[in-house]
Amino acid sequence: MRARATTGKLAPSGNLMTENPTTGNGDPASRAAVASYVATLSADLAAMARKQGLETLGYLLEMARLEAESANRANSGTSGRI
């Protein structure tokens, strides 16, 4: 059984976690929601890992966060560049 984030709970970072998105049918809004959710969770997991001295795991989770943020920008049509 998978654990699900629920509305109103705080993530380890102190951020309010929202209900995890469904995978939907692959439309850009669903993809962006999933990418955003993965970015948030991986950032929190990276912080937890580093706090416990798991530096390599923290680094890999940060790479996952960056990739999810990049995918989110691609799905929303912004490049993030000025």
Q: Note the pLDDT tens digit of each residue in 3-25.
A: 444 444 455 556 555 555 655 56
How much is the pTM?
0.64
Strand intervals (E) in the chain: 9-10, 16-17
For 25-82, write each residue's pLDDT tens digit: 666 678 889 999 999 999 999 999 999 999 999 999 999 999 999 999 887 765 555 4
Residue 79, token pair as written in the block: 């490049």
Q: Which amino acid is at 25?
A: N
